[in-house]
Amino acid sequence: MITRRKFVKSAALATVAAATGAVAVLKKIGLANAQPEVGQYYPHIWDRLGNAKYIHPWDIDARLGPDHYKKGARERWAMVIDLRKCVGCHLCELVCREHWDVPEGFWRSWVKAIQKGRPPNAKKYFLPRLCNQCEDPPCVTACPTTASIIRDDGIVVIRYEMCIGCRYCIAVCPYDSRFINPRRKTAEKCDFCQPRVDKGELPVCVEICPVNARIFGDLNDPESDVSKLIRNNPVQVLRPEMGTEPQVYYINPDMDIMGRIKERRGR
Amino acid sequence: MVEELIVLYNVPHELPLGILIATYFYYTGVSAGSFVLSTLAYVFGYEKYKPIGKLAIVMAVIVLILAPLHLILDLAQPQRFVHILYMFNARSMISWGTIMLTAYPLNCVIYGYFMFKENMKMTRIFGLIGIPLAVGVHGYCGFILSLVAIRSLWHTALMPPLFLVSAVVSGVALMILIVITKQRFFTLDKKINVDLIFSLGKILAWTLVLDLFLVGVDLLELTYVYSRTEAYDAAMLLIKGPLAPLFLIGEIFLGGIVPFILLTHPRTSSSIKVVTLASVLVLIGIYAMRVNWVVGGQMTPLS
């Protein structure tokens, strides 16, 4: 006869056995493997951080103080997009897609375009878009596994092996910069071509731009091109009211194209 | 600005959080609501609700075992969900939610164990511990939405209270259905405790009013002025846009007004069948509410 004690005992044993078996099976088919599938679509985690250290989300507020970059003696990468020069050729968008093998239907970088007025009295305006590499990024705040992290040179990177794909970072990003890569099945976004930057090269979009509308450089160096441009021109960032302090600056942007575009039909 | 403006090129973006997340919110809500009901008798000493205490805690545990499964299935990398347990980001609401989602069911099980053991003192203690946990486990769902500063429909301090009230509403509605089913089919005398059902119906009706009130306040604030704002467009999505049928008919009319009238009108409120119907309608309405708020919040494009 089965007593209650016997039943509980055997049930517990069966549970343990089943759990062990399940873990073994999952390991066999590679599902319970916490280690990443290195090198299939992306470099290893430490390669992504390069020679930079990362700043824990908890320390971001401390980092926003004036002395941080002096102490760290690091670069602060930033981009200026000079819309007086941009001709809307979409080359940055295309080269980014080619370089990073972005799946169809997703964009790390894209160029918005609008037309104001009715032809022949019409004018086109463009707005190249990419991740804004915020000083206080909502995505890093939101990420439950600290997979999204900000490097001490200001680039917001995703450590793909840690990303569980909860999509919360996509929901909180004010700039629509993020997406789930359907092949890698993690969040992905522009990261200023961070492996290239670590090697001393420019991001591909900056390199390809035929009119030099994109300028990339170090904000901590007062003599760099970005510092000079930001100092000598009225600049604007996207959604400044969010308090994210974006580090992609626009010279001469159009009001209607900067946020959500509302189409207007003229009279 | 009267000048004509057309979009020449822009790119679409996916809606990150979908039906599975809405369903998850629904389940945690039901669980938290059931738990609060079970504490009515065992912590606050309302003897009238004693018969539902054990049922409610069993429901709370079962539903809360189902709920995280939806979260895990919604991940792009479901096998990596363990990462969330040992990688902690103190600024992330989801990290705190993970703690709640672990602690709350554990506490429920302990609370239920002492309840079935008839150990009233320990039941009371763990019930008292469980109330903030239940508020936390569903309140954090509201915070997950309300802390997203960029989504106008979500970014309101009303979101956690709205979620908590709707949690109680759905918990009570499910409990009414379960009590009726149990007493009708699984007891010897097959007699329904009419008094209990009607007092649960009263709780349901008046929490439903609170729920509708919060939704109304929220929409009034979003739509009152500034018709060029994103907030206005987000609210209009619910009132005139693609979600209007689900919102106006599903959530407000069938899930709110009709059950309230059924539960309070003197000619209908004294029938078990009507209370059952009202509870079913409320459960559907609250599900519609979860879908409306989770999906609708993301439908106004950002760029």
CATH no. for residue B160? 1.20.1630.10
Domain count, chain B: 1
Say whether A142 sits in a helix, a strand or coil. Answer: helix
CATH 3.30.70.20 describes domain A45-258: yes
Q: Is B1 part of any domain?
A: no
A137 to chain B: nearest residue by CA?
B91
Asked if B142 and B159 count as a contact pair (C-beta separation under 8 A), the reply is: yes
> Given CB atoms, is A6 within the 8 Å cutoff of chain B?
no
Question: Does the beta-carbon distance from B94 to A34 stay under 8 Å?
Answer: no
Top pLDDT among A139 and A6 is at A139
- pLDDT exceeds cutoff 50 at A32: no
Structure-token pair, residue B6:
């057309």
How would residue A67 be classed by pLDDT, with cut points 50, 70 and 90? Answer: low
Tell whether the model's pLDDT for residue A61 goes beyond 80: no
Average pLDDT taken over every residue of chain B: 90
- For residue B190, what pLDDT is reported? 78
Q: Is the peptide bond before B301 cis (omega within 30 degrees of 0)?
A: no
**Taking the C-alpha atoms of B11, B16, B17 and B18 in order, what is their torsion angle to the nearest 10 degrees?**
60
B253 occurs within a structural domain: yes
Percentage above 70 pLDDT, chain B: 99
Residues of chain B with Cβ-Cβ distance to A116 below 8 Å are 3-5
Amino acid B75 reads: L
Please state the rounded mean pLDDT for residues A195-210.
90
Nearest CB partner across the interface for A176, out of B84, B93, B302: B302
∠ CA B207-B211-B217 to the nearest 5 degrees? 140
* Mutation to test the A interface, candidates B1, B2, B4, most A Cβ within 10 Å: B4
Lowest mean pLDDT among A28-42, A172-186, B123-137, B217-231: A28-42
Which chain B residues contact residue A129 at CB under 8 A?
303
Q: What domain range includes position B77?
A: 19-296
- What proportion of chain A, given as a percentage, has pLDDT over 70? 81
B146: which residues sit within 8 A by CB, 6+ positions away? B154, B155, B156, B157, B158, B159, B160
Whether B21 and B74 have beta carbons less than 8 Å apart is answered as yes
Q: Taking residues B70-99, what's their average pLDDT?
A: 89
For residue B10, tell me if it sits in a domain. no
By three-state DSSP, how is residue A24 classified?
A: helix
For chain B, the three-class secondary structure string (H helix, E strand, C coil) is CCCCEEEEECCCCCCCCCHHHHHHHHHHHHHHHHHHHHHHHHCCCCHHHHHHHHHHHHHHHHHHHHHHHHHHHHCCCHHHCCHHHHCCCCCCHHHHHHHHHHHHHHHHHHHHHHHHCCCHHHHHHHHHHHHHHHHHHHHHHHHHHHCCCCCCCCCCCCHHHHHHHHHHHHHHHHHHHHHHHHHHHCCCCCCCCHHHHHHHHHHHHHHHHHHHHHHHHHHHHHHCCCCCCHHHHHHHHHHCCCCHHHHHHHHHHHHHHHHHHHHHCCCCCCCHHHHHHHHHHHHHHHHHHHHHHHHHCCCCCCC
Contacts of A264 in chain B (CB under 8 A): 1-5
pLDDT of residue A73: 53
Using the predicted structure, report yes or no on whether residue A165 has a pLDDT greater than 70. Answer: yes
DSSP A57-96: GGGHHHHTSTTHHHHHT---EEEEEETTT-----HHHHHH
Average pLDDT over residues A110-132: 92
Tokens of A146: 């600290």
Q: How far is B91 from chain A (nearest CA, A)?
A: 5
pLDDT at A37 (0 to 100): 40
Kindly state the tokens that stand for B137: 């486990």
Is B230 among the domain residues? Answer: yes
Closest chain A residue to B85, measured at CA: A145
Q: Please name the member of A58, A116, A172 whose beta carbon is closest to the beta carbon of B3.
A: A116
In terms of DSSP bridges, do strands A248-251 and A77-82 run parallel, antiparallel, or are they unpaired? parallel
Please tell me which residue, A71 or B227, carries the higher pLDDT value: B227
Distance (Å) from the alpha carbon of B133 to chain A's nearest alpha carbon: 20
Contact (CB, 8 A) for A214 and A81: yes
Cβ separation of A145 and B84 shorter than 8 Å? Answer: yes
Q: Which residues of A touch B68 (CB under 8 A)?
A: none
Does any CB of chain B come closer than 8 Å to the CB of residue A113?
yes
Asked whether the predicted pLDDT for residue A266 surpasses 80, the reply is no
Using an 8 Å CB-CB cutoff, list chain B residues near A261: 5, 7, 10, 303
Whole-complex ipTM: 0.89
Does the pLDDT value for residue A63 go beyond 80? no
Q: Is A89 on the interface with B (CB under 8 A)?
A: no
What is the residue extent of each domain of chain A?
45-258
**Region A222-245: what's the mean pLDDT?**
93
Place of tokens 């403006």: B5
User: What integer is the mean pLDDT of A237-264?
Assistant: 90
Q: What is the DSSP letter of A133?
A: -
Q: Which of A144, A179, A187 sits opposite B94 (nearest CB)?
A: A144
Helix (H) or strand (E) holding A207: helix A204-208
Q: Which of B223, B227, B239, B233 is nearest to B292 (CA)?
A: B239
Say if A254 is an interface residue toward chain B (CB within 8 Å): no
What does the pLDDT average to over B237-265? 91
CA A150 to chain centre: 10
Residue B44 resides in a domain? yes
Q: For A242-263, what is the mean pLDDT?
A: 90
Model pLDDT for residues B282-295, shown as the tens digit of each residue: 999 999 999 999 99
Q: Which residue of B has its CA nearest to A169?
A: B16
Kindly identify which residue of chain B lies nearest to residue A259, measuring between CA atoms: B303
CA distance B201 to chain A (A): 37
CB of A237 less than 8 A from some CB of B: no
Q: What is the pLDDT of residue A20?
A: 78
